[in-house]
Amino acid sequence: MSFLTLSNIQKSFGPVQVVKDFNMTIDKGEFVSFLGPSGCGKTTILRMIAGFEAPSGGSITIGGKSQTNLKPNQRNIGMVFQAYALFPNMNVADNVAFGLKVAGKPAAEIEARVKEMLGLIKLDHLAERYPYQMSGGQQQRVALARALAPKPQVLLLDEPLSALDAKIRVSLREEIRMIQQQLGITTVFVTHDQEEALSISDRIVVMNAGRADQIGTPFEIYNKPATRFVASFVGTLNLIEAKVVDTAANRISIGDQGITLREPLGAVKAGDTVSLALRPEAGSIAEGAKGDTALTGTVIASNFLGSVIRTRMKVGDAVISFDMFNGPGLVPPAVGETVTLRFTASDLLIIRE
């Protein structure tokens, strides 16, 4: 059921178009992340939903109601920013109560709602504290409670975790996702961190220079990247240039080694170059472990990353990284050694755009 609709949204600042004809419908209760590098327009889209920026073209509706002529405070939206934008002169309870007071809710209702919100973020015991007496992670939980207290229709999160250290970032993102699901609130989350987007979203919009290159579930985005940009931005990936050998047989070569692809090659001819994507975790060098195809190369480097050892090998002119999972009995190959990486032909994706 479509709830938040963005139709033909455009935004220009002077002569520069930073959002180019963006279209999307978001379902009620869905968690959607906008993911992309700095400057791709993701924050601008969020700010247009909030009403802080007016679109240069297009329309936004929430629950069927046009938002175009509504000021930010007339939209039923809660927002959390990157910097903990709490009121420094108010304690936690007063920060959470703020939106309810502005809305003129009765004191008893405010008190009950604040209590409920502090329970939700598990900070009941810090109701009297001031922002300067709390950690960054605690302050962001209060910011979340403050945004949710007036029961907004949509929650907007603008890189709310970027200022926190790595461990807190992971635990808070899990908490945000749990709270979002518990309340069933439609949420739009902006991030440039692909792991964050993959881990908490129902769907991800991968933004590239003002456009959505792909909109899909984390699984689709990771396993079936639609463009070269998505493939290289999300996760670690080998982009390999291969030569078409025989179109009818789906046959290509990497260096001088032939491979038959699963996916039809499409409109190319023998001698053309095609780009193939292969995730490092797709293959295995264990004898006979996987697959219906293989590449043999010379190891040029090995990096110990903890759970995996990422090894790079040279196959013709291509450098291909693959992961070997750490565990008992693992003997990483030495630099200079010849190894054979086995995988299934469907692990090799053709990147067409």
Cβ proximity to ligand ATP, 207 vs 282, nearer residue: 207
Q: Would you count residue 41 as binding ligand ATP (CB under 6 A)?
A: yes
Q: Which residue has the tokens 């247009």?
A: 48
Q: Would you count residue 39 as binding ligand ATP (CB under 6 A)?
A: yes
Taking the complex as a whole, the smallest distance from the CB of residue 55 to ligand ATP amounts, in Å, to 13
Gap between the Cα atoms of 19 and 192, Å rounded: 17
Taking the complex as a whole, the smallest distance from the CB of residue 189 to ligand ATP amounts, in Å, to 12
Beta strands in the chain (DSSP E): 2-13, 16-27, 31-35, 57-62, 65-66, 77-80, 154-158, 186-191, 203-208, 211-216, 238-246, 251-254, 257-260, 273-278, 293-304, 308-315, 318-325, 338-343, 349-351
Identified binder of ligand ATP from the candidate list 8, 13, 102, 174, rule CB under 6 A: 13
Residue type, 203: R
Residues with Cβ within 8 Å of residue 27, at least 6 apart in sequence: 1, 2, 3, 186
Q: Would you count residue 18 as binding ligand ATP (CB under 6 A)?
A: yes
Cβ proximity to ligand ATP, 44 vs 91, nearer residue: 44
Cβ proximity to ligand ATP, 24 vs 278, nearer residue: 24
Q: Would you count residue 43 as binding ligand ATP (CB under 6 A)?
A: yes
Q: Total binding residues for ligand ATP by CB under 6 A?
A: 11
Identified binder of ligand ATP from the candidate list 36, 55, 137, 160, rule CB under 6 A: 36
User: Helix H segments across the chain?
Assistant: 42-50, 92-102, 107-120, 136-148, 166-183, 194-200, 218-223, 228-233
Provide the mask over 44-83, with x wherever binding to ligand ATP is found by CB under 6 A and - wherever it is not. Answer: x---------------------------------------
Stretch that binds ligand ATP, among 40-48, 58-66, 174-182, 318-326 (CB under 6 A): 40-48
Provide the mask over 183-222, with x wherever binding to ligand ATP is found by CB under 6 A and - wherever it is not. Answer: ---------x------------------------------
- Sort 172 into a burial class: Cβ within 10 Å, 0-12 / 13-18 / 19+: buried
Taking the complex as a whole, the smallest distance from the CB of residue 145 to ligand ATP amounts, in Å, to 25
Cβ proximity to ligand ATP, 13 vs 87, nearer residue: 13
CB 259 within 8 Å of CB 348 = yes
Cβ proximity to ligand ATP, 159 vs 347, nearer residue: 159
Count of positions (residues) in the chain:
353
Q: Which residues here bind ligand ATP, judged by CB under 6 A?
A: 13, 18, 36, 38-44, 192
